[in-house]
Amino acid sequence: MEKCSNKYSKPRCEEIVRFIKNEYNRKKIPLHEPRLLGREMEYLWRCIDTGYVSSVGEFVVDVEKDIASYTGAKYAVAMCSGTAALHMALMCAGVKADDEVITQPLSFVATANAISYLGASPIFVDVDMETMGMSPKSLSDFLDLHCVKRYGKCYNKHTNKHISACVPMHTFGMVCQIDEIAQICQSWGIMLIEDAAEGIGSKYKDIHCGRFGLAGVFSFNGNKVITSGGGGMLITDDEALAKRAKHLSTTAKIPHLYEYDHDEIGYNYRMPNLNAALLKAQIENLDLCLMSKRRQAERYAKFFETMGIKFINEPIECNSNYWLMGIILEDRSKRDELLEFANDNDVMMRPAWKLLSQLKMYKNCMKDSNQNAKYLVDRIVCLPSGVLS
Ligand SMILES: Cc1ncc(COP(=O)(O)O)c(C=O)c1O
């Protein structure tokens, strides 16, 4: 591919890269890096000092309480990754092998993988152009066209399989039209599990994402707004689901002072205390990080407006955490020109993910036209979005 050879594009690529270098004032600018500016060292040292570096410890209990209280959920269960939390959420909600689960094509691969771990198949319905998350209209159209309700449950007319759950995702921290999706799921007898991996701190109509269905999950991977190094969290208001998620993700061990007895096949999905210590310190600075990202988003929005480029702003009724900020360019070739120029010049930018419905292992799954997702994936460029101190 020719590198920004076009007379119109090259100065534009240069101007964008110059602006970002000026903002971040660094030689090499990553897409998103952790900001470890609070009590991280103190809490990590406490783990080392007490020897509680592994799968039990005060910080695990603390972060579960902190996230429950921050999001307003009744229960939170810490795990070793967002993927593990999504797997457990679906399993504890009762998704079974041979079920079908509706999700969106524009997402990170973990969304579909967690469905597949259970032997269920994903169905990909299109995203909305504004929110980039699942489109309530596409969901509703798909259900009306392909599904029937029998004894309160939703079945696919073509495969005769039970569609047990729906997993919308809050893309880059923008919350999708989740209340409409929740209503549609309710009327069809489908369980709603939110993949809010990217959404800590994001709200819809003042309610934290992850709280609109049976359960929601967050990721605290190193590239997220706040991090535990690696980790995830399931939130729910359902006591039985929370208890089962805790039990299954901690090897299904029956609590006992010294005996090892397990009552089913469990998973070692525990969040180590070391990771929880890091997360505790990060949660203490979450609101500061959110403020800093919002200011960054405002500066980006102003700059791109002057260039006549569409900056991805939070949709109406959504208060976004602006996890990954991005722009929408004219077409795929303009996208690739900027990606190539920026990455060549030490400013990391990336496209959105290859659509899940086009990945080798999911390309034969059922889907609608996915036309909005295709349009967006050709045009989105994610910009450096790290928290400035
Ligand atoms: C949409 C989405 N779902 C799930 C995950 C999985 O989270 P983790 O990397 O913590 O397993 C991620 C991110 O990393 C994600 O972006």
- Number of domains making up the chain: 2
Could you tell me if residue 266 is inside a domain? yes
Asked if residue 1 is part of any domain, the answer here is no
Ligand 1 atom with minimal separation from the 170 CA: 1
The tens digit of pLDDT for each residue in 71-123 reads 999 999 999 999 999 999 999 999 999 999 999 999 999 999 999 999 999 99
Q: Does residue 290 sit in the same domain as residue 276? A: no
Pocket, ligand 1, Cβ cutoff 6 A? 81-83, 86, 107-108, 110-111, 169, 195, 197-198, 219, 221, 232
Domain closes at, from 233, 257, 284: 284
Single residue among 284, 310, 338 that ends a domain in this structure: 284
Q: Whose CA is nearest to atom 1 of ligand 1?
A: 108
Q: How far apart are CA 134 and CA 247, in angstroms?
A: 31
**Residue 60 alpha carbon to ligand 1 centre in Å:** 20
Whether 261 is in a domain gets the answer: yes
Based on the domain organization, do 178 and 61 belong to the same domain? yes
Mean pLDDT of the chain: 96
- For 213-270, the pLDDT digits (tens) are 999 999 999 999 999 999 999 999 999 999 999 999 999 999 999 999 999 999 999 9
Q: List, in sequence order, every beta strand (DSSP E) within 105-170.
A: 121-124, 147-150, 153-156, 163-167
SS (H, E, C) 303-321: HHHHHCCEECCCCCCEECC
Whole-angstrom distance, CA of residue 356 vs CA of residue 122: 10
Tell me the CA–centroid distance for residue 225 and ligand 1, in Å.
12
Residue 387 lies in a domain: no
Mutate which of 79, 103, 108 for ligand 1? The one with the most ligand atoms within 8 Å of its CB, which is 108
Cα–ligand 1 centroid distance for 232 (angstroms) = 8
CA of 110 to the centre of ligand 1 (A): 6
Structural domain ending residue among the three candidates 284, 314, 333: 284
In angstroms, what is the span from residue 10 Cα to ligand 1's centroid? 34
